[in-house]
Every structure is written in C-alpha cells, then in structure tokens.
Structure 1
C-alpha cells in the first residue's frame, strides 16, 4: 500500500485551505472504499501531517489535528499541499520546516501535488525552477515576481511535470484530485468519484474564470505609462509601432521591456484588455456579439472570435450564454 500525506500548514486564515484538506481526504477515502469493494487492496493509506498538534483556521473558528508530525514520516509516495494564505511571504516563512521536508521527500522519490496557491510553497523550495506550474489567476503577478525561474502557465487548470502536479484556483482543486485518482487508480474509479461528488471531469483551463487587471507591480514607469495608454484607448485600433515611437524607444526594446515588466507582449496586453472589457459587456448587457466587438475596437468578427477563444477558452456566444442569465 502506498502512503499519501496531506499537509496541514500552520498559520492559515483561508477557508479554502481547510476545504482543500478536507476535500482531498474525502475523495481519496471514497476512491479507496470503491477500490476495496471491487475486490482490490486499498491504494493509499492517507494521513494528515503537520508540524503542530493542532492547526487553527479562519481566526480559530475551525481547527485540524494532524494525525502525525511530519518528522514521523520518513517515506511517503504522494504529498498534497493545500492552498495558502494570501500573504505568501508569511505563509512561506511560517512553514519553513514543512517546505524543507517536502523538498527532501521529492528528492527521495515522492510525487507532489499543490493546490491553488500551494504552488508558492513548492516554488520556495526550488522544486519548480525550470518547470511549468499553475496557481490561482489572481496570484499570477505576485508569483511571477517572486519566482522568475518558474514557467508559470496561469491559464492551465492542471500541470503535470516530473512528478509534480499543480492546479489553478480555489475549488478547482477537485479537478486535480480526480486527475490524481485516475492516475493512481483507474478511469473507472475517477468517473465514479466525479459522479459521487458531481465534479466535471477533464477540465483543462481556468481562463474563463480569470479577471485581467493588468500587471503593474513593477518598477518600469515607461511601461506603466504604456499600459495606461492602452487601457485609455481600449476601444481604438492601436499600432504598437506608433506607441513605441510615442515613448521614443525602438520596437524591439519596447517589446523586451514590456514582456519583462508584465509577462505579456504589448499586443498580448492590448488583446487581454479588450477581451476583459468584452467579457464584462457580455456578463452585464444584452448587446449583440457585433456591438460588443465594435465597442472594444475590433472590426473583423473572425479575428475577434479567435482572440476571445484564445484568451478565455470559449467562444463569445458560449461565454455570454454561461454568464448572462438575461439572454
């Protein structure tokens, strides 16, 4: 039987941390039970492990008593790291012992799955350097600034690379757990668990849920001015060449500085600003696809649809039908 460790971090105030611990534990318990009922040996022995006898959540409203201390676990096969508080520096600093233990276990052959902002713990251990990962879309800018060596793919719901699994935000952790159930048990067990817990299987993107606010946590004032210019001219056709000339800088250097500061090329940033505005229009109005398209500065329906799908993973029609119940 394999050993599964679900980490109980210290000093967490988010209810999502507690939810991801409980949710992961429950789904694996059901998978084990179903596996056993079909005449097979349980795949995992599941343990909650931490560094304190009791961890409190949401200002003491809830508490979890780990079944064991991590010091008592010399070998484990799979580790699940739950989401962390939004003060990532504090969460990392207060759990250094856990971080070191996770890194040691990975080097000894354990696989690791991080839920939502739990990716900050893996990145702080150096386990994600040069690898792809995901995290909650709202933490994208902070993560990129803190861990530039990591290939963050914030549009991905799940990443799977070299025995490390990460997932996007909040309750999408349920999709990650189903993914792990299929990997360690089989497709039949994963389908059974998805039906019991009513989890949509095989989701691959969190793009439709993201809200683009523009990455401005950087020190390049020229790029900030360019961002503000783009946002103020969102409904117009903007030439990137003309914009670079406006700031008296060559196009190549302009692109380089923009990418370094924001993680996007100027064109990608412009597209994301326009599509975010289009999303809000589809959510809150009864405007047609063409009306919204013209409002955000597109004149070609095909081009608008292609960019919208690239950024959200959905067509404009599908997005409007999902998020506007007045249609």
Structure 2
C-alpha cells in the first residue's frame, strides 16, 4: 500500500492543571483512528502535546484546549491567549472541551459565536463572556473554525468529530465499534441537574426556596407564594428573578423535574405516581414538560440513568 497521506496535525495544549486523562484519551482515540485510516487509505492525523515552555510557531490544522479539574479559568494566561489568536488567524481550527472554552473566551475568539461548555459552568461563563452565544444544552457546537464540546468526557465527542472531519464517516464507525462508543442521540440536557442559587443574600427569597424544596406538591403559583411571603406578586417576581436568575414559574418547573429525576433514578414508582408525587395532576402535561427539560421521556431517562 502506498504511503498513507497526512490529513491533519493537531496540537493538544497541556496547560498547567490540564485533565491528563482527557489528553491521553484523545491520543488513544486518534491512534485507533489512524490504525483504521491506514488500513483503508483514509489518512492519518498527527498530534503534538504542547507542555511547558514557549509555544511554537508551527502550523497546525487544529488546536485543542482540554478540560481541567483544578478550577482554573486561564484569565492570566496571556501568552496562551495571544498564541491561540495567532493560530486562529493562521487558519487553525480552534477547539475546546469543558472549561477549556474559558481560554478561548479570554483569547477574544468567542464574541458573537455559538459555543458550549459544561452545564455547571453556565452562570460563570455567561458572566465572563456575555457576548458569546452559549448553548449549554449542546454536547458539541461546530461553528466552522471554532468547535466546542461540553463536559470533561466530551473529548470523546470532539475526537470523533475531528476524525470524521479528516478521515471520514467510515473510520468513525470503525473507531466507535472498537471503543464501544455510541455517539448518537446525546444532549447535554440529558445529564443536567438543577442547581438553584442560594447564595444571593436575599433571606426572604432563600427561605421561600427552602420551603419550595420541601413542598413540591404544594401550591407553587405566584399568587400562593406571594401570600406566603407577604409580598405583592409583582414585587415577589422581581425579587425572585433578581436573586435566582429564573422567573418563579420556570424555577418551580425545574425544581419539580429535578425531583422527578431523582425518583426515576432511585425508585421503582410508576411514572404516573411520580407525576403526582412532584405536584402535577395531568400525566400527559408532566410527560411533555419532562421531555422539554431533559430531552428524554421519563421512561427513557429511567432506562439510561437508573441506579441499580
């Protein structure tokens, strides 16, 4: 067989605090893809792990910012920001996974661009980069020259995306079978948890949140909650949204769906009973709401996430 063509060269940026399991995992995935790419003649993807020291002026087809588990966000890494901007200007595809998107944002690459990151980082990311178009429900967002993936394990989705880009769908299929990966039908909202803000400093609203948490089957209408707080309805709505970031009605829905997730994961209760246990009387309406929030039907969610 003639020499296998080199289709792309990717830089994996091993910055301080990087999640090395993601770096090594992506290297393994690319090596497996290269094995099939060589067998089929589809080509090869070279990779370089860039660690400490000066970043090279080498031409790369793609640069990847992996996740980190240290809480770092890269605001002070100005040398990396400049290098990323220069690589982008030179035509490299710029990629990130999870918190790696913060480095792209600090490099000025995300203004006006659709992007994703881990759902738990959504408030922090929106505050840091208000001009970015965050799609926190998405596993992966491909905006041509910027590709972002959501969570610490979304390097798998990103790796398959890059393999498909340069080696084709047939090699992706072979890699998936080899690594027992099923990349189809996933959305970040399938995994998302509702984590309400409780550190906002408004004690009356916080007391109401605690009461709602313990009384999801109670009357959570604006009228009833305003009466409980001894506040006018409009005042309660304004204060609640300002404190939690969510309108009261949306908050109540998210809270009830989160309670339903827990019951689906930990119990054998029929879906209809779970509907009633979280404060809904109409199972059909509950089913529509659950799917709209989680991206799955209640039975699909239980099948995927049940704790056995």
- Alignment check: 8 A CA contact 2:114 2:141 kept: yes
Q: Answer yes or no: is 1:75 the counterpart of 2:63.
A: no
- Alignment check: 8 A CA contact 2:216 2:278 kept: yes
Aligned to 2:219: 237
Aligned to 1:178: 160
Query: How much has 1:236 moved relative to structure 2?
Result: 2.1
1:312/1:75 CA distance change after superposition, 3 Å: same
Work out the CA distance in 1 between the residues paired with 2:302 and 2:158: 27
Q: Of 16, 26, 43, which aligns to 2:28?
A: 26
Q: Of 143, 151, 156, which aligns to 2:138?
A: 156
Work out the CA distance in 2 between the residues paired with 1:86 and 1:134: 19
Aligned to 2:285: 303
Relative to the length of structure 2, the TM-score reads 0.85
1:18/1:224 CA distance change after superposition, 3 Å: same
Q: How does 1:1-327 map to 2 (within 5 A)?
A: 1=6, 2-12=8-18, 17-42=19-44, 44-52=45-53, 69-70=54-55, 72-89=56-73, 91-93=74-76, 95-216=77-198, 218=200, 224=206, 227-228=209-210, 230-240=212-222, 243=225, 248=231, 251=234, 262-324=244-306
Q: CA RMSD in A?
A: 2.7
- Alignment check: 8 A CA contact 2:97 2:150 kept: yes
Relative to the length of structure 1, the TM-score reads 0.81
Work out the CA distance in 2 between the residues paired with 1:256 and 1:188: 54
- Alignment check: 8 A CA contact 2:260 2:275 kept: yes
Work out the CA distance in 2 between the residues paired with 1:276 and 1:21: 33
Query: How much has 1:286 moved relative to structure 2?
Result: 2.1
Aligned to 2:3: none
- Alignment check: 8 A CA contact 2:42 2:168 kept: no
Query: How much has 1:267 moved relative to structure 2?
Result: 2.2
Deviations 1:86-144 (CA, angstroms, capped at 9, x unpaired): 4234x443x33222211221233211111122112112222222222222222223223
Work out the CA distance in 2 between the residues paired with 1:197 and 1:111: 25
Query: How much has 1:244 moved relative to structure 2?
Result: 6.0
The secondary structure found in structure 1 opposite 2:154 is helix
Query: How much has 1:250 moved relative to structure 2?
Result: 6.4
1:40/1:312 CA distance change after superposition, 3 Å: closer
Query: How much has 1:174 moved relative to structure 2?
Result: 0.6
- Alignment check: 8 A CA contact 1:4 1:46 kept: yes
1:254/1:173 CA distance change after superposition, 3 Å: farther
Query: How much has 1:232 moved relative to structure 2?
Result: 4.3
Work out the CA distance in 2 between the residues paired with 1:124 and 1:226: 37
Work out the CA distance in 1 between the residues paired with 2:248 and 2:114: 23
Query: How much has 1:220 moved relative to structure 2?
Result: 6.1
The secondary structure found in structure 1 opposite 2:300 is helix
- Alignment check: 8 A CA contact 2:266 2:307 kept: no
Aligned to 1:62: none
Deviations 1:187-230 (CA, angstroms, capped at 9, x unpaired): 11111111111111234402222222213454666764554454
